Amino acid sequence: MKIEQPFEIRHKSHHNSTGLISKYYPPKRVSEDDFLKKLDEEPKDVPRVIYVHTPYCDKICSFCNLNREQLSGSLDSYAEYIASEFDKYGKYRYFKEKPVDVIYFGGGTPTVYKAKQLEIILSSIERNINLSADHEFTFETTLHNLTDEKLEIMEKYGVNRLSVGIQSFTTEGREFYNRTFDRDETIRRIKDLKAKFNGEVCVDIIYNYPNQTIENAVSDAKTIKELDLGSSSFYSLMIHNGSALSKDIENDKLKMEDDLIRERKLHDAFVDELTKESDYYILELTKIAKKNRDNYKYIKARSFGGDTFPIGVGAGGSVDNIGIFRMKKEMSMFVEKGEYQQRLDKVGGLFQFPVVEKKNVLPNLTEKELEIFKETIEKMKDKNLILENENNYSLTRDGLFWGNNVSREILVDLVEKTLGDNK
């Protein structure tokens, strides 16, 4: 059976649009001195995020090819390095004169640090960074390496949100993803974590693994509701080059077939169950949150034109018009993002959400860009992907499934139909 689809392939991540603009308009390299001068200017009034990357795990997920490696030794030197970065940058006006709204520890697995290493890192943040009164401070974590001692230290320094890499609550799914613990032990540990932690507990779910049933997807959604979790990310399984799964496929140990009908059924089953007769709602394309609970300020700040200050090997972000990429401890790349790229980055970011207010997106477009944008919106409306009213653009049920394609299509049209206008 062939599915009627608006695009040839389904883009499953917002990263499919990353770098699209720089492909046509390569950014200008600048020096670290240029970046440091920027940090000594008066900070702009925009949402501010610090992203800290830990490129280490003590157990590698089968699907992962991210900037990480299997932990094989002590992280003492890396913890000291992260602390020294906060000491280095904390002296600039950027951090002295305006509080930070969000800190996000990603990876890898940030809770792979020992307790004393966490203390070194988090104490350096405390002495260098002012946090806003309603700050969000997240650690990504697994269940097997988050001890009571680590949790106590994290709460001591203001951590108020945990993002737990569950991937699946089913025992079969967890075995496929190379996760520790079966379903019963996973649920027991989540309950124990919620009882001990005063902040928000959120999870990640990855659907569309081989032999996953509709009942499996529904079961995951029901478990999230029963555990009263703050939110759940939900991604369709992506096979990345370099992952264990990609190698198994190359060696004919695993068969994976693209089946959009099955993928759509699993997506809708999970979304429908989690949002039906409950307080859960779709916050953005890959996040369902409970009302008045998890605000996920991290993604909102990044998508609405805020700064993301990157720290740690493998981290990337931007401060105002300067993009930063941390390649090694002593090697970073700095590029100047033009006004054009900043505007279109924001447009792409806004369309990661199910409802986009016109007052937020339209001022980012020139007169010519606005004409192109409206033409693209009409195409999306004809494909039943977008609805429009006086104030908003809203993704339809189909639009939510194809949301990353919608965002990418808008950017592709804007870039390709204005080539040369912004050089």
What phi, psi does 338 have (nearest 5°)? -70, 165
Please, are residues 141 and 164 in contact by the beta-carbon 8 Å criterion?
yes
Q: What pLDDT sits at residue 278? A: 86
Please, are residues 70 and 60 in contact by the beta-carbon 8 Å criterion?
yes
Q: What pLDDT sits at residue 241? A: 58
Please, are residues 326 and 319 in contact by the beta-carbon 8 Å criterion?
no
CA 192 to chain centre: 26
One-letter amino acid identity for 322?
A: I
- H-type helices in 163-282, by residue range? 171-176, 183-196, 214-226, 244-250, 260-275
CA-nearest of 297, 293, 316 to 306 is: 297
pLDDT tens, residue by residue, 35-62: 999 999 999 999 999 999 999 887 555 4
Rounded-to-integer distance, Cα 370 and Cα 359, Å: 13
Q: What pLDDT sits at residue 250? A: 59
Q: Which two tokens stand for residue 364?
A: 């980012």
Rounded-to-integer distance, Cα 409 and Cα 397, Å: 18
Q: What pLDDT sits at residue 63? A: 47
Q: Which two tokens stand for residue 418?
A: 């204005």
Per-residue pLDDT 10s for the chain (423 aa) are: 455 789 988 988 887 666 677 777 788 999 999 999 999 999 999 999 999 999 988 755 544 444 444 454 689 999 999 999 999 999 999 999 999 999 999 988 999 999 999 999 999 999 999 999 999 999 999 999 999 999 999 999 999 999 999 999 999 999 988 888 999 999 999 999 999 999 999 999 999 998 899 999 999 999 999 999 999 999 998 765 555 555 555 565 555 567 889 999 999 999 999 999 889 999 999 999 999 999 999 999 988 889 999 999 999 999 999 999 999 998 999 999 889 988 998 999 999 999 999 999 999 999 999 999 999 999 999 999 999 999 999 999 999 999 999 999 999 999 999 876 765
- What value, to the nearest 5°, has the Cα angle with vertex 74 and ends 71 and 76? 125
Q: What pLDDT sits at residue 209? A: 92
| Radius of gyration (C-alpha) of the chain in whole angstroms | 22
Q: What pLDDT sits at residue 78? A: 95
Q: Which two tokens stand for residue 106?
A: 């990603």
The residues, ordered by sequence, that sit 6+ positions from 390 with a Cβ below 8 Å of its Cβ are none
What phi, psi does 28 have (nearest 5°)? -90, 130
One-letter amino acid identity for 32?
A: E
Q: How many CA atoms within 13 Å lie on the side-chain side of 175?
A: 8
Question: Can you say whether the dihedral through the CA atoms of 145, 80, 310, 405 is positive or negative?
Answer: negative
